[in-house]
Structure 1
């Protein structure tokens, strides 16, 4: 950071104390206010914040404090995979426009420096910064354009209600089969931990299924497991494999969407099917499995994200099975030269 980043007198860029409850509470407050202003409602939680501030192996954070020490802006980066660095950019919605823009500029300057460092450590010539924005957040769009970012993709955030009787969509969510395809949970060892061979099968299927998808970046098995275990909604009993002729050909990784105002929901974090298994009903079977599992757990919805520009036509399957778009997000990218 420059010696004088242009902030008001007494304001400064600083680190985050993730072990201080007041710091986490303040960051959660900023996150939820950001969501309400940009989307109309908030879903962020302290658990979401803790993932960002405690993921020390692959994440870094910075905040802007005013002259009283109150956090007014927050930036977080995550070395997601080789060549792809995720970035969170949040500025207090109560600030005057000129002060808010100064804070935004400081966060972007910091993120650019982080990108150069991450890229250098991975031996890259160019490091991508990948950040998101809600489709209707005009303030964020203006700042992103000002910082050299380009909107590259649109995502539909979809949801489907679950009825209690849908527990009968499959015989048993834990394991069932149809037309030569076997659907089952990832196996568990005697101590309760998941079977490593099954976890590696899930990773290999998803890597293979998403090779040609937008902005796909190869992720090692260790990176994959570490990242998914950080998710507050992570549960090992929400990981399914689909086997065609005895070989892993599809995988679904689900999570829990907790709610303080009603029943929890389930969420499809990943759904992938290898090209060799397309047309065998694998994707539909995996979706029926998580719907039936959600019904058995007393949940009232299943959410997922779909690429609005995907050439696979996945959105047609989701729509036909009852999913509808709840809100829209965007991916914004900037390529930063490392040297």
Structure 2
């Protein structure tokens, strides 16, 4: 039973500010790192393929004040993950209702996944939020992985990137504005570079070009902050960066197998740091698998970053089967 006076309903676009506020309250409480902006939530919710009414529920008072929320997304229907946040005054009393809805919605993906595939429900919890971790474990979730949010505060002009002579730094914006270039070919080349680089990322599920383009190439993204390390016509490595709430974020950084151990990852980081510094942004963040299969954590520490907070990943198997997600590093 819900607490008297509370009810659960589908989210609307008008709820973005309240949900972002709740996310930020929880994030700052346990990690000291800001969460998300309402503008970014709206960007996610208004993607052409996103179905807000089917994917997000809010818990509201009689006055329609939101006190908790839960939202789902999926990867090829085989991994369904959810985020859930509750205001401090209501914690410990309403999470099960939100989880019940998430499980029910996630079960609908089972029939949409290939018959032989494993289907899992996953979520994350801040490592310092012991009460929520106990709740998830009591509900049958298992802790399977840890991820870090890493940070660097720029006290002065960052290091200059060092590029080998054969590489050229470009931005996605430069390429698509070049009349001699084919936009579709460039987009596909970056997608292929991303899939190759992240095939060695734990938990990676192969994506489609259309899904990647909707997520990575959009009107909100400043394509001038989408940096490409080019080896001739080949995309050897890339970094997709953006400003969020006054901070700098390196959302994704990938180096293709054939171009690893050539300093490209570090050079891209230093270049991004320099661009953020030029824009007056001093705090830089990124997320990384704490047990990265490619040793990315060592790269980020070398670049002067430190662990700002830790998240634990929990999973529950909804249907046994073949797991196609990356579990270990396969040598080329």
Matched, 1:185 2:167: no
How far is the alpha carbon of 1:250 from its aligned partner?
1.2
Q: Which deviations, in whole Å up to 9, do the C-alpha atoms of 1:80-127 show, x marking residues without a partner? A: 444222311112211263xx2xx2111111111221222323445542
Any stretches of 5+ residues in structure 2 without a counterpart?
322-332
What does residue 184 of structure 2 align with? 196
What does residue 111 of structure 1 align with? 102
**Among residues 236, 245, 255, which one is paired with 1:273 in the alignment?**
255
| Contact 1:64/1:72, CA 8 A, preserved across alignment | yes
Equivalent residue of 1:31, what SS?
A: helix
**Among residues 206, 221, 241, which one is paired with 2:209 in the alignment?**
221
> What is the alpha-carbon root mean square deviation over aligned residues?
2.8
How far is the alpha carbon of 1:190 from its aligned partner?
6.5
What does residue 29 of structure 2 align with? 37
Task: Give distance in 1, aligned partners of 2:303 and 2:68.
Answer: 41
How far is the alpha carbon of 1:70 from its aligned partner?
3.0
The 10-residue stretch of structure 1 (134-143 or 223-232) with the greater mean CA deviation from structure 2:
223-232
Q: Which deviations, in whole Å up to 9, do the C-alpha atoms of 1:31-60 show, x marking residues without a partner? A: 222223332454432224324544572351
What does residue 328 of structure 2 align with? none
| Contact 2:152/2:284, CA 8 A, preserved across alignment | yes
The 10-residue stretch of structure 1 (155-164 or 324-333) with the greater mean CA deviation from structure 2:
155-164
How far is the alpha carbon of 1:129 from its aligned partner?
2.1
What does residue 156 of structure 1 align with? 148
| Contact 2:77/2:109, CA 8 A, preserved across alignment | no
Task: Give distance in 2, aligned partners of 1:43 and 1:14.
Answer: 23
What does residue 211 of structure 1 align with? 199
The 10-residue stretch of structure 1 (30-39 or 45-54) with the greater mean CA deviation from structure 2:
45-54
**CA distance 1:231–1:212, change in 2 (3 Å):** farther
How far is the alpha carbon of 1:170 from its aligned partner?
4.7
What does residue 318 of structure 1 align with? 300
What does residue 324 of structure 2 align with? none
Task: Give distance in 1, aligned partners of 2:189 and 2:261.
Answer: 20
Equivalent residue of 2:88, what SS?
A: coil
Task: Give distance in 2, aligned partners of 1:165 and 1:195.
Answer: 34
TM-score (norm. length: structure 2) = 0.83
| Contact 2:176/2:182, CA 8 A, preserved across alignment | yes
Task: Give distance in 2, aligned partners of 1:154 and 1:285.
Answer: 26
How far is the alpha carbon of 1:236 from its aligned partner?
0.9
How far is the alpha carbon of 1:142 from its aligned partner?
1.5
Q: How many residues align?
A: 314
Task: Give distance in 2, aligned partners of 1:116 and 1:296.
Answer: 48
How far is the alpha carbon of 1:160 from its aligned partner?
1.6
